[in-house]
Amino acid sequence: MGTLALIIRSTAQPGRREEIYEAYRSVMAPRAEANEAQEVVVWCNDLADPDRFTLFEIYRDQAAFGQNAEAPWFGEYMGKVGPLLAGEPEVTMATPEWSTGIGG
């Protein structure tokens, strides 16, 4: 399998999105910046709902995604943000076919 795109849509408990973002910036963002196999990472705040956010990620391959998902720091992040979420995130896995501005 080639590159893998992940689209993760989540809703924070009312008024808690910023706390989740700060946890993301402290735990996840540094690892994404250092991980060549995680080619694109974008955090998006929903403009219509102040509690919603979306993460868009592109991994070199399925194995790179699996390594992140199994890493101890991912569990640390989920331990911090899990109680701040209003429910389970909606996760979509896809194969990128075309893009502009992000390589590939």
Exposed (0-12), middle (13-18) or buried (19+): which is 58, by Cβ within 10 Å? buried
> What tens digit of pLDDT does each residue of 51-92 get?
999 999 999 999 999 888 888 888 889 999 999 999 999 999
pLDDT of residue 104: 46
Mean per-residue pLDDT, 34-49: 95
Q: How confident is residue 5, by pLDDT bands cut at 50, 70 and 90?
A: very high
> Are the beta carbons of 50 and 66 closer than 8 angstroms?
no
pLDDT of residue 103: 53
> What tens digit of pLDDT does each residue of 24-36 get?
999 999 999 999 9
* CATH code that applies to domain 4-94: 3.30.70.100
> Are the beta carbons of 12 and 20 closer than 8 angstroms?
yes
